[in-house]
Chains A and B, each alone.
Chain A
């Protein structure tokens, strides 16, 4: 009897379990994630070497960074840092451009170089078994580039062609203009790639001088991540970079002045554009600002991800775009904050208004806990996933090292984000996000949105620039 009762109970429990829930089953207890730990060593010549091991796939990413990028471009030579970095792989004292491509790709590796803000870099991605050869190629292109005139001319023409395409795309155009609106003639004001006019001004001597000034071991960091242990990484670095010498003291990084740009509303008229790109922009913060975590959480609420406010309001609720987002680009000095989207030309003005409203809303009212908690979780989840690939890991570590932030910060990120409260977000937003101080840039088919835009912003305040009269070399933006 007793046994039978027990059996019946078991069966009824089973039946009860089989019923499908009408609300989502709750999660099981979480498992903690392991954050990979970097090791570092500085070589005698001043090169800082960082190795971070991650064993699950036989791949390694290695990135050599220099602490100078587009902000170090001389005033009339926009694009110099980018051209210099891109030319690294186009010939060294012992290898032609073709040989470099052939030898690297024979390993199944990729070798890339370029410049961003605050940094120039060369990087390889390769099977761990082929890392020694790949690192030696990385060292060769960084240390011994020849910058032959025909390679400079070839790349210049290619970049001019790329720009001619970018200048016909609403999103790229709006981005170029937004930088000028925010930074004027300052070091962050031009496009990284330069302009067709500035590229023509760059001489071989400028390239050679840029390389000589900034590409030196005591201004460089080598980050190696993936299937490699620290001792082997340090040994490979010593082998390829140990004999590299710097002469004289390293130059100081280029400083930019704090900004108080006047608000501008700029329209670039691109007839027959398939969509309008709308960018709302303000000065943001430096990567070294103590508000780093607060800014990250604030952006996650506003425009960092599918369920952020901008995407909810513009896409999910109103069907006005395929996606809207925002970002603080945190650089050595304060970089831009920008919110952006693309929409059909007819709704460009409406979308601009929605964006400004959302900026104000964050500044004037507290974020409810039921919104704050998931946005922090989303940010922390993104952080964890980014560390799952060797490239993602190297990117994260490089971002700390470039700005002299202790590498142990990688362990503090999750706690730092967790600690941000609603009042932190509101007070940060009121000083950094208010919509009335933000500039608006729209690139698109102006006749389809100008009437609406004038109604919303007043015709006196709007600058309309036909794309043919646009001059990206000047803060006035006009030829």
Chain B
């Protein structure tokens, strides 16, 4: 998902992180998996507070998840929710622009934010003695964001550079950007969260003010605090700085668009400059992240592309040597998802060969039940990944936020482990039959731009 800031320049697969993020839960019998022990209350103004105490380091992670993401971009303003996220680091009634950095980075912490299709999350990790300061600051930008024309335009230029950085400069940026666009027919998930230069240029300061008023309200926010704090003190501060913000009387607009079932297969040819190796993606519509089928799809994903012993790697990269890189993803979102397989071809290998081999691997997994050892391996892989994701306070807060906002059930942060453990070989076959064999594929190929006519 687009972030406010990234420290390192990613090389190849910007989308890979997002795909893995959707592949969360797991457990195995023998392992003592520490649950996330959270407390929850809802304030009178509708703000939800979740808290998890962990005193092992003197730091605290502060997350605020707003239930608004790119799918709520206004018409003709693709990329707006993300642009807005950047503006949230500018001024408020009592904070000048970039003060959030003074309160975090300058005292040894950090901040960032990210815009997903379904939510926007703002987060800080600071020495725990700064908790009160940051709760004040989060109250400020929820309650009294201000924005001036100069800051708005400059930050919009930053976001346009982010678009170039993510989509235009990387070899496969346009390819990954094209997947959602071609995979959803009507749901706003089809619009790229990063937007486009034209629609970003169309955005105004008035759009910012109206978006804040519409979506940034206490009853649309989930605050998650993980780390070194005293519960009573936290409650007092949250009541003071966030509990005093009024809940508007108006209703929060929600995306209710229903994506229709695909009735036919579709093929799309996309092109870009500087593409030495062609690529192909095949997608199917999949259920939402809260579906009972989610766990089995995540296991199927791990069987197909988790590690070098996975089926796609072994077949396309290792044995056939037709692919340079392969991936699959169970990209399950709040409303519905995509199941996808992709291949960046090896030098001289055509996309048709990749498409055939990807389909052959899916067919094999549908026709023959996966063996016990391979199933266990996939589950172990998911579990270890999950544990590593939760090593820090920040990681725990992210896991909890995703369960609350995308899966609509905080308890899922702990229950999800058992549901992956319960997945059987027959479950994997059943969900692939239902969504892949029983669905209609969209095939997206990505190749070098056809030669422009005439020598220059």
A contacts, CB < 8 Å to B: 17-18, 20-34, 56-59, 89, 97-98, 101-102, 104-110, 125-127, 129, 154, 157-158, 160-162, 164-172, 270-275, 277, 305-307, 315-323, 325, 340, 342-344, 374, 377-378, 380-382, 384-385, 388-390
Contacts and interface: CB of A to CB of B under 8 A. Distances in A.
Given A27-B107, A274-B173, A129 B31 contact: yes
A379 to B, nearest CB: 8
B383 interface: yes
29 contacts: A21-B94, A34-B57, A56-B391, A59-B384, A59-B388, A102-B377, A105-B377, A109-B384, A127-B31, A158-B324, A161-B276, A165-B324, A168-B171, A171-B9, A272-B274, A277-B169, A316-B158, A317-B154, A319-B154, A319-B161, A320-B157, A322-B162, A322-B165, A344-B164, A381-B110, A385-B59, A385-B392, A388-B392, A389-B388
A342 B388 contact: no
B419 interface: no
A346 to B, nearest CB: 11
Residue among B129, B228, B310 having the largest count of chain A Cβ atoms under 10 Å: B129
Contact of B132 (A18, A25, A167, A340): A25
B11 A168 contact: no
Range, interface on chain B? 35 or more
Interface in B315-373: 317-318, 321, 324, 344, 346-347, 373
A105 B306 contact: yes
B139 A385 contact: no
Contact of A18 (B128, B130, B169, B240): B240
Contacts of B210: none
Interface in B144-194: 153-158, 160-162, 164-165, 167-171, 173
A170 to B, nearest CB: 6
Interface stretch (B95-103, B211-219, B433-441): B95-103
A101 B11 contact: no
Interface of B: 5-7, 9, 11-12, 30-32, 34, 54, 56-59, 93-95, 98-99, 101-103, 105-110, 125, 127-133, 136-137, 139, 153-158, 160-162, 164-165, 167-171, 173, 228, 240-241, 244, 273-277, 306-310, 314, 317-318, 321, 324, 344, 346-347, 373, 376-377, 380-384, 387-388, 390-392
A316 B391 CA distance: 32
Contacts of A318: 154, 157
Contacts of B321: 154, 157
Contacts of B241: 20
A30 B127 contact: yes
Contact of B391 (A31, A343, A389): A389
Contacts of B244: 18, 20
A26 B57 contact: no
B103 A58 contact: no
B245 to A, nearest CB: 10
Given A105-B307, A344-B164, A307 B154 contact: no
Contacts of A343: 161
Nearest to A370: B106
A96 B127 CA distance: 48
Contacts of A275: 161, 164-165, 168-169
B12 A165 contact: yes
A107 B380 contact: yes
Given A27-B129, A127-B31, A171-B9, A374 B161 contact: no
A306 B129 contact: no
Contacts of A89: 308
B306 A307 contact: no
Given A108-B380, A165-B171, A319-B153, A102 B309 contact: yes
A275 to B, nearest CB: 4
Contacts of A273: 169, 273-274
Contact of B136 (A21, A126, A315, A389): A21
Contacts of A342: 9, 161, 164-165, 169
Contacts of B109: 381
A154 B318 contact: yes
B391 A57 contact: yes
Nearest to B159: A322
Nearest to B132: A25
Contacts of A165: 12, 171, 276-277, 324, 344
A29 B129 contact: yes
B387 A127 contact: yes
A126 B385 CA distance: 10
Nearest to A32: B58
B347 A101 contact: no
Contacts of B167: 274
A107 B387 CA distance: 14
A125 B385 CA distance: 10
Contacts of A26: 133
Name the residue among B308, B324, B373 with the largest chain A CB count within 10 angstroms.
Answer: B308
A129 B306 CA distance: 21
A277 B128 CA distance: 38
A164 B58 CA distance: 46
A248 B377 CA distance: 42
B171 A169 contact: yes
Nearest to B131: A28
Contacts of A344: 160-161, 164
A275 B169 CA distance: 5
Contacts of A127: 31, 383-384, 387
B8 to A, nearest CB: 9
B98 A169 contact: no
Contacts of A316: 98, 154, 158
Contact of A106 (B107, B273, B377): B377
A306 B101 contact: yes
B347 A320 contact: no
A34 B161 CA distance: 40
Given A31-B58, A307-B106, A98 B11 contact: no
Given A25-B136, A26-B133, A319-B158, 13 more contacts: A21-B136, A57-B390, A58-B31, A58-B32, A101-B309, A125-B384, A164-B277, A307-B101, A319-B157, A325-B7, A340-B9, A344-B164, A381-B107
Nearest to A342: B165
Given A98-B309, A106-B377, A377 B108 contact: yes
A321 B158 contact: yes
The 8 A-B residue pairs with the shortest CB-CB distance in the complex, in nearest-first order: A381-B108, A274-B168, A319-B157, A108-B380, A374-B106, A272-B273, A31-B58, A108-B384
Contacts of A29: 129
A378 B105 contact: yes
Contacts of B347: 157, 160-161, 164
Contacts of B132: 25, 27-28
B324 to A, nearest CB: 4
B328 to A, nearest CB: 15
Contacts of B307: 101, 104-105, 110
Given A171-B9, A388-B57, A162 B107 contact: no
A138 to B, nearest CB: 16
B170 A169 contact: yes
B169 A274 contact: yes
Contacts of B129: 27-31
A105 B381 contact: yes
A345 to B, nearest CB: 9
A157 to B, nearest CB: 7
A107 B98 CA distance: 45
B16 to A, nearest CB: 15
A382 to B, nearest CB: 8
- Residue of A110, A165, A168 most packed against chain B (CB within 10 A): A165
Contacts of B380: 105-108
B170 A380 contact: no
A389 B392 contact: yes
Given A57-B390, A319-B156, A384-B108, A105 B274 contact: no
A130 to B, nearest CB: 9
A158 B169 CA distance: 22
B314 A98 contact: yes
